[in-house]
Homo-oligomer: A and B are copies of this chain.
Amino acid sequence: MTCEEDGPRVATRRGLLAGAGATAATAAGAGLAAPAGAAPRRRRADVVVVGAGLSGLIAARDVAAAGRSVLVVEASGRVGGRVRNVSIGGGEVVEGGAEYIGPTQSRMAALAAQLGVATFPAYNTGSNLYVREGRVTPYDALGLPPDPEGLPDAGGAIAKLDALAAEVDLDAPWRSPRAREWDAQTLETWLLANTTTASGRLLLDVAVTSVFSFEPRELSLLFVLFYIRAAGDQRRPGSLVRLISVAGGAQERRFAGGSQRIPLALAERLGRRRLILDAPVRRIAQSGSGVRLEAGDTVVRGRQVIVALPTTLAGRIAYAPALPARRDQLTQRLPCGSVIKVHAVYDRPFWRDAGLTGQIVSDAGPARVSFDNSPPRGRRGVLMAFIEASDARAYAGRPQALRAAALENFSTAFGARAARPRRFLITDWDAEPYSRGGPVGCAGPGVLTGFGAALRRPVGRIHWAGTDTATHWNGYMEGALRAGERAAREALRAL
């Protein structure tokens, strides 16, 4: 949920599909209920897509483009899933969820171009700030944090991780030559064995939590290596540096008008008639002749179904017949990360006057990593921070405490002016009823080797999409898009 925490004021919510009045909150209260007496509405299509996030919408686009009928069923009152614009007033928006595009994300680049959504570079001019034990040290935005002890240590570990990642089998990480060894340990175990300094560990911890929204102790080394490898292409192999970078990295460019313009444009082209909002899917039954979904007050029938949800949420649907054991147990083992995104909105991006980018790397939470997320024309200044993993848990349900703590982090870095934003917006993905975390399902030790084979394997007429299932830019919009395209191909072949 996104709320505005401005002193003691009450949270507000925003539905963002034009014309759709219901918000996620309404859907959670009403949509989950079984139809009360009234006969259900009935719909039918060749392919039914569950989830109107980027992955589901792309799958639906491809099914429709192949001349087959398609319906997209969405639990909340809007499209976009974890891609969501949030208003900051004055007709401007920021992204509450996924927002960037960077090198090697070729399908997203093509899609944005096709839909006429322009991109612009994330603000990255001047100096970043490294905050350590209260001391603030600027460093060039194209350079690295000025930590003479920690930097070589962290850099060495990152180079090793990148080299190991190159050995991972992207399609089947569990078949990589050293899969058994890598999936038996946490990333933290590996980091302890491959770093020597507290500063190096700090830099790595901040990098890891900002990428995964998990602590290093929660992650399988194999999964981390897979994720790194997936963040590249054949010419430019995946690297942890690309994942954490602005220039040349995953945070390089933004979308004019906010990233949700992409799913909104997709939904518009798909057409309102192909979209069923406020309809949480409770049950998917399949038989020899087709599938039958119970979704809100609607019964939808089809021949194939594409489930484009986080794996953990897909496990909350009742299936008949029941899912195979390995698939069901996978859904018990691929949790979403813990992440809250905060935006402090100012009259203007005043830090730029001091030659600062707005980016920090800090040893003090909850705002350990920040970015300048101002609208492109600079009519407002916006500092954005990710509140990750244990920080997100510590501040869950405590918007005023989070506001105070994050603004203290901003003030330490950018001065007293940062303490008095016009607005302070909190988007808590862990509390979002139809996301329950973000950005992606991550695997702890033993999950990929034990259950990975069930990640994409269709179950009869059911095909699995969502960025969880991607082999290229897993966890990103690029991954969601590619997974949706792959699932659409599967479903079309099966028709």
Interface residues of chain A, those whose CB is within 8 Å of chain B, are 28-29, 32-35, 37, 39, 183-186, 188-189, 192, 214-218, 280, 282-283, 294, 312, 315-316, 318, 320-322, 324-326, 328-329, 332-336, 338, 389-390, 392-393, 396-397, 428, 430-431, 433, 436-437, 444-447, 449-451
With a cutoff of 8 Å between Cβ atoms, the chain B residues found around residue A192 in the complex are: 184
Given contacts A188-B185, A329-B436, A335-B332, contact A446 B444 (CB under 8 A): yes
User: Are A217 and B396 in touch, CB under 8 angstroms?
Assistant: no
Q: If A188-B185, A316-B315, A446-B217 touch, does A35 touch B34 (CB 8 Å cutoff)?
A: yes
Residue pair B312, A332 in contact (C-beta under 8 Å): yes
Query: Judging by beta carbons under 8 Å apart, are B430 and A329 in contact?
Result: yes
Give the interface centre of A28, A326, A338 by most chain B CB atoms within 10 Å: A326
CA distance A408 to B184 in the complex (A): 30
| Chain B residues in 8 Å Cβ range of A316 | 315-316, 318
On chain B, the residues within 8 Å of A185 by CB distance are 185-186, 188-189, 217
Q: Are A332 and B336 in contact (CB under 8 A)?
A: yes
Q: Are B332 and A445 in contact (CB under 8 A)?
A: no
Report whether A294 and B34 are in contact in the complex, using a CB–CB cutoff of 8 Å: yes
Known: A32-B283, A326-B396, A436-B325. A390 touches B188 (CB 8 A): no
CB-CB nearest 5 A-B residue pairs: A218-B446, A325-B430, A332-B335, A184-B217, A34-B34
Determine how many copies of this chain the complex contains.
Answer: 2
Whether B328 and A436, one on each chain, are in contact in the complex, defined by CB atoms closer than 8 angstroms, is yes
In the complex, the answer to whether B218 meets A450 with C-beta atoms within 8 Å is yes
Q: How far is the CA of A449 from the CA of B393 in the complex (A)?
A: 11
How far is B216's CA from A444's CA once the two chains are assembled, in angstroms? 13
Q: Is the CB of B34 within 8 A of A320?
A: no
Tell me whether A329 and B335 are in contact in the complex, defined as CB-CB below 8 angstroms, given that A184-B188, A393-B451 are known contacts.
Answer: yes
Residue of B35, B217, B336, B338 near A445 (CB, 8 A) is: B217
Q: Specify which chain B residues have a CB less than 8 angstroms from the CB of A428 in the assembled complex.
A: 325
Most chain B beta carbons < 10 A, residue from A39, A316, A446: A446
Chain B residues closer than 8 Å to A324, beta-carbon distance? 396-397, 431
The answer for the CA separation of A34 and B297 in the assembled complex, in Å, is: 10
| Nearest CB in chain B: distance from A459 CB, A | 12
Whole-angstrom distance between the alpha carbons of A325 and B34 in the complex?
24
Interchain CA distance A83-B436 in the complex, whole Å: 32
Contacts of A444 in B (CB 8 A): 218, 444-447
Across the interface, do A450 and B393 meet the contact criterion of CB distance under 8 Å?
A: yes
Contact between A322 and B34, CB atoms less than 8 A apart: no
Provided the pairs A37-B39, A325-B436 are in contact, do residues A215 and B450 lie with their beta carbons within 8 angstroms?
Answer: yes
